[in-house]
Structure 1
Amino acid sequence: MPRPKTHDDALRVRLLDRAGELLSTQGASALSLRKLAADVDTSTTAVYSLFGGKPALVRELYVEAFDRLGRRLHAVTPTGDPHQDLVHLGIAYRDSAVADPHLYAIMFGDAIPGFEPDEEAHALALSALAPLLRTISAGVESGVFTGPAASMTMACWAIVHGFVSLELTGALPPGLDVSSTYETALRNNLAGWLQPAPTDT
């Protein structure tokens, strides 16, 4: 008698990745559990076993997307220099988006019409961004940045989100040195938030 296929974490990840690809490239109407299972060479029983249904699958996809981003950001080792740490975090943010472009719209776009994260999923998403918020707050409190922290956070996110979105949609000019231009944009944005150096009177 053949052994049943194992519904393990590797299968869970393959299903989530394929679900993200379907949503980001073909839209919400393309995500059916039968198609998803067929694309990953498994059964709808496996999908139900791992997720319990489509709404739970969508929620898990949202959580997985932020979990991968969070792992990248939390892997950045603090140097004690908030300015340099934010550059490193910005680069890690882009690295995450480029590694999993099919998940970016799940986090910040409208790939899942009508989906609203529950309180727990929303808290998990915020925890992924904790290194960014912590570094900015520490920089403002120590006098490195002018702040306020909330305004600076939004400005920094606008820079990285706008650039990454243009990159993922293929809207950047051909031949552009993307990595170098991105880092320059990060540094120039942060320069505007630095406390002015004291002047002798």
Structure 2
Amino acid sequence: MPTVIGTYSTNPAQSMFVILGAVGVLLLFLIWGAASRGWEIANNQPSVLSPQSSVLSPQPTVLSPQSSAHSPQFSTPGSQQLSTSIDASSIVAPYANYVLTQGPHGSSYGHMAIDLTAGNGATILSPIDGVVTGYHVDEYKNTVLVIENEVYQITLMHGNYAVAVGDDVRQGQSVGTESNNGYTMDMNGNLCYERDCGYHTHLNV
């Protein structure tokens, strides 16, 4: 039998309804998918904006005073073998160990003093906490060092001194070494100028 091809007519209103229905289903599917994804993220992922988040709230590093990064190494009196005395009335001998070679004398210098020795080159120590107020060579070629504070004026003579006027010194601090500069004598009363004798410190307080 012959094939009969018929015609098919479509109502425009029905076609529009079908299209809108398909679009609505697609939108609902997209909205459901987005909502499901948001729920999964909210329940399974850590909150980046949480105040407790380690990303946004790092704990600051606080350096203690003992931290080597911010603890400059300070030079202490102990490290320099200095006395910690802060008493202006405190006074000590200019040597750790010494021999008294002459008692009170020095009228020719205009003051009374004693002579002490610890040997050529021995370290001379400041007897007090104070300030170097004088350092010169007098008319007899004596080297003269003066250290003062509010209680004492100390005069040391004949040494090789390693401080300068204006220097602050601590009791027990090295200020030079013993020598025989200037007017010094041997045991027989002979001048030791440019001779290997007469080493001592002339001390006036």
**TM-score between the two structures when normalised by the length of structure 2:** 0.20
Q: Which has the higher helix share?
A: 1
Task: Compare relative contact order (CA 8 Å, sep 6+) and give the higher one, 1 or 2.
Answer: 1
User: Based on CA coordinates, which of the two structures has the bigger radius of gyration?
Assistant: 2
